[in-house]
Amino acid sequence: MAAEIIDGKALAADLRGKVADHVARLKAEHDLVPGLAVVLVGEDPASQVYVRSKGKMTLEVGMASFEHRLGADTEEGELLSLIARLNTDPKVHGILVQLPLPDHINEELVINAIDPSKDVDGFHILNVGLLGTGQKSMVPCTPLGCLMMLRQYHGSLSGLDAVVIGRSNIVGKPMAQLLLGDSCTVTIAHSRTRDLPGIVRRADIVVAAVGRPEMVTGDWIKPGATVIDVGINRVDAPERGEGKTRLVGDCEFDSCAAVAGAITPVPGGVGPMTIACLLANTVTACCRAHGIDEPDGLTA
Ligand code: NAD
C-alpha cells in the first residue's frame, strides 16, 4: 500500500489564508493590526533564515512585523530590557525569541520573562502548565501544526494509540499533551526507551521528533499507521554533486511510505505548518488581548 502524502505546504497555505482573512476582519471591524516581534541574538545561519521567512510571511498575511537583531555578545540584561519593552508595547501581540540563544544567556530566564499572553511560541512555564492541565493556553507551534494535520486526516483521534518519539520541551512533551487532550493513548519514547521498534509498531500515530536522519524505518511501522515526521536533518548528497546536501526527516521516507496509511514529507510537511501556526497564534493572542471572539480553527 502506498501512503497518502499529507501535504503540509497546502495545509499551511490554507491556514495562512484563514489567518489573512481574520487579520483583514480585525482591521476593518476593530482598527487593529496584529503585530509579531521576533528577536534574534547572534548570527546563527539557520536562525537567520527562519527569522527572515517568519518576517516575510507575517507581512504577507497583513500583520505587522518587528524584527530585533542583536549581536552575539549582547548581555542578558539588555535582552531582558528589550523583552520588557515589547511586553508593554500595545502594537506587539506576539513575541518570539529565536532559539538557541548564545551560551552566556539563560534561555529559561528569557522565555519566562515574556508576557505569557504574548508568548506565541507557548514555551513560558505558565503556558506549559495551562496546556498540561487542559486549559486555554498558547500552544507551541510545531506540535500544534502536527495536531492540525492529524485532525485533518483522521477527523477524530479518540482512542488511537500514539507514540511520540522525543521528549523535548519544544516538540515531544507538548505533542504528547495535545494528543492526550484529543483522547489518544499516548506513549512518549526517548533515547533510553527499550525496544523502540516494538513500541512504534503498536502505534496508529507515530510522531518522530528526534533529530536523527532516517532513524525510523518501514519495518517499525504498523500497516496503515499515520507518520508525522518532525525531524529536519541536513545530510550529504554526493549524488547531487560535490559538497551538495539535502534535507531528510527522522523517518526513512520510502520504506515508511510503503507501509503507512499516511505520511508527512520532509521538506514540505511539518515545517510549513509550524510557521503558519506562529501566525495563527499571533492572531489568537491579539483577539485575547482585546477581548474579541477567537476565530475557529486557529488553535488546539
Ligand atoms: P531535541 O534534541 O531537543 O530532542 C530530541 C529527543 O529525541 C530527545 O528527547 C531524545 O530523548 C530523543 N532521542 C534522541 N536519540 C534517540 C534515539 N536514538 N531513540 C529515541 N529517542 C531519541 O530535539 P527537538 O527540538 O525536539 O527537535 C527534534 C527534531 O525536530 C530535530 O530534527 C529538529 O530540527 C526538528 N524540529 C523541526 C521543527 C519543524 O518545524 N519541522 C520544529 C522543531 C524541531
User: Which residue type sits at 268?
Assistant: G
* Element of type H or E holding 79: helix 76-88
DSSP three-state, residue 263: strand
Compute how many other C-beta atoms are within 10 angstroms of the C-beta atom of residue 289. Answer: 17
In testing the pocket of ligand 1, which one of 232, 233, 251, 278 has its CB within 8 Å of the most ligand atoms? Answer: 232
User: Which residue type sits at 98?
Assistant: Q
Residue nearest to atom 30 of ligand 1 (CA): 231
What pLDDT score was predicted for residue 110?
98
Domain extent for 177: 141-271
Percent of the chain with pLDDT over 90: 99
In a domain, 252, yes or no: yes
In a domain, 80, yes or no: yes
Indicate whether 107 and 166 sit together in one domain.
no
Q: How many domains does the chain have?
A: 2
Assess whether pLDDT exceeds 90 at residue 226.
Answer: yes
Assess whether pLDDT exceeds 80 at residue 143.
Answer: yes
CA distances from 18 to 82, 102, 264 (A): 31, 36, 22
Indicate whether 64 and 182 sit together in one domain.
no
In testing the pocket of ligand 1, which one of 51, 167, 210, 264 has its CB within 8 Å of the most ligand atoms? Answer: 210
Indicate whether 92 and 174 sit together in one domain.
no
Indicate whether 161 and 250 sit together in one domain.
yes
Residue with cell 526527516: 249
Q: Give tens-digit pLDDT for 21-79.
A: 999 999 999 999 999 999 999 999 999 999 999 999 999 999 999 999 999 999 999 99
In a domain, 54, yes or no: yes
- Spatial distance between the Cα atoms of 142 and 45, rounded to a whole number of angstroms: 20
CA 236 and chain centroid, separation: 25
- Spatial distance between the Cα atoms of 204 and 222, rounded to a whole number of angstroms: 7
Average pLDDT over residues 183-211: 98
Atom of ligand 1 nearest to the CA of 211: 32
Contact residues for 148 (Cβ-Cβ < 8 A; gap 6+): 11, 15, 273, 277
What pLDDT score was predicted for residue 1?
58
User: What residues does ligand 1 touch, defined as CB less than 6 Å away?
Assistant: 142, 165-168, 170-172, 189-191, 193, 196, 209-212, 230-233, 270-271, 274
Pairing relation of β-strands 245-248 and 233-236?
antiparallel
Active centre residues (catalytic) = 54, 98, 121
Question: What's 102's domain CATH number?
Answer: 3.40.50.10860
Among 115, 131, 150, residue at a domain's last position: 115
Indicate whether 80 and 180 sit together in one domain.
no
Indicate whether 96 and 191 sit together in one domain.
no
- What global pTM score does this model have? 0.98
Q: How much distance in Å is there from the Cα of 243 to the middle of ligand 1? A: 25
Indicate whether 145 and 111 sit together in one domain.
no
What pLDDT score was predicted for residue 136?
96
In testing the pocket of ligand 1, which one of 96, 171, 199 has its CB within 8 Å of the most ligand atoms? Answer: 171
Question: What's 145's domain CATH number?
Answer: 3.40.50.720
In a domain, 196, yes or no: yes
Per-position DSSP letters for 140-195, written without gaps between them:
PHHHHHHHHHHHHHHS--TT-EEEEE---TTTHHHHHHHHHHTT-EEEEE-TT-SS
DSSP three-state, residue 63: coil
In a domain, 189, yes or no: yes
Indicate whether 104 and 186 sit together in one domain.
no
Q: Give tens-digit pLDDT for 144-193.
A: 999 999 999 999 999 999 999 999 999 999 999 999 999 999 999 999 99
Indicate whether 267 and 187 sit together in one domain.
yes
Residue nearest to atom 14 of ligand 1 (CA): 191
In a domain, 135, yes or no: no
Indicate whether 154 and 81 sit together in one domain.
no
Atom of ligand 1 nearest to the CA of 250: 32
Indicate whether 73 and 183 sit together in one domain.
no
DSSP character at residue 138: P
Q: How much distance in Å is there from the Cα of 261 to the middle of ligand 1? A: 23
In a domain, 124, yes or no: no
Assess whether pLDDT exceeds 80 at residue 125.
Answer: yes
Indicate whether 108 and 148 sit together in one domain.
no
Q: Give tens-digit pLDDT for 246-267.
A: 999 999 999 999 999 999 999 9
Q: Give tens-digit pLDDT for 273-289.
A: 999 999 999 999 999 99
- Spatial distance between the Cα atoms of 38 and 83, rounded to a whole number of angstroms: 10
In a domain, 95, yes or no: yes
